[in-house]
Structure 1
Amino acid sequence: MTRKDQLSVPQNELVEAWQRTLPERLNAGDSVKVWADEADPKSLRVTIHAAGHQMYEFDFAVRYLDSREIDVELVDVESGGRSVDEHADAIQELIADYRRHLHECAQSLHDLTHA
């Protein structure tokens, strides 16, 4: 299926919109950093710092496939600055939760991204 509606929002505007919107979607106590993926103008990088004593950090690559749909790739999970096995059940639940929040953020920005 060929999609004609390409993302036409400048990457810096997209980053600003995600920085404003994503924190509203996250759990209380979580924090987030969003920045431009310099290798791809349709992609963002997102690091979510999970609230709690485990000090988990989740790194995601978010790529716009078109003006509405995103692809979310988990890049890394760290705890206290060290990579951890992301296959543990508790971590898998957090990953699924954060993926959902990332998709919700993209949906809430449709007015901006869908020309």
Structure 2
Amino acid sequence: MNRDLQLDQQQLVSAWQERLPALMEDGDSFTVQGDAADRTSLLIHFNAAGHQDYSLDFRCTYVDSREVAVNLIDVEQAGRHIDEHTDAVQGLAQQYARQIHECAQALKDITNP
């Protein structure tokens, strides 16, 4: 962890809320909030479009000003916890993780001034 990393969590949340929609599939929705336990992390909740009613929660932690670590925290279908190891869920998780990394790259001007 880079102790010199200075992030304004609220500014990051706002920037993510502005930038992430451009990277997402039509119909998908999301929420972004700061992780109260770690000022270098964001909690991102995705609702997948379609009839499967999947929602996935990720923790995005800034390792340094350019790199993020993305961890899948939880997967639900129709409000119930499900196995995240199914092909459908793994595909969604990979897609959302890629979008998180793309968004972090797009916002590097904020994290690496």
TM over 0.5: yes
Structure 1 match to 2:53: 55
Corresponding position of 1:41: 39
- TM-score, normalised to structure 2, is 0.95
Instruction: Report matched runs for 1:54-73 at 5 Å.
Output: 54-73=52-71
TM normalised by structure 1 equals 0.93
Amino-acid identity (%): 49
Q: For residues 23-66 of structure 1, what are the alpha-carbon distances to aligned partners after superposition, in whole Å with 9 as ceiling and x for unaligned?
A: 11111100000001000000000000000011100000000001
Please state how far the C-alpha of 1:3 moved relative to its aligned partner: 5.6
Question: What is the aligned partner in structure 2 of residue 93 from structure 1?
Answer: 91
61, 72, 78: which is aligned to 2:76? 78
Task: For 1:70 and 1:37, locate their aligned partners in 2 and report how far apart those are by CA, in whole Å.
Answer: 14
User: What residue ranges of structure 2 are gaps of 5+ in the alignment?
Assistant: none
Q: How many residues align?
A: 113
The runs of 4+ residues in structure 1 deviating greater than 6 Å are none
CA RMSD between the two structures: 1.4
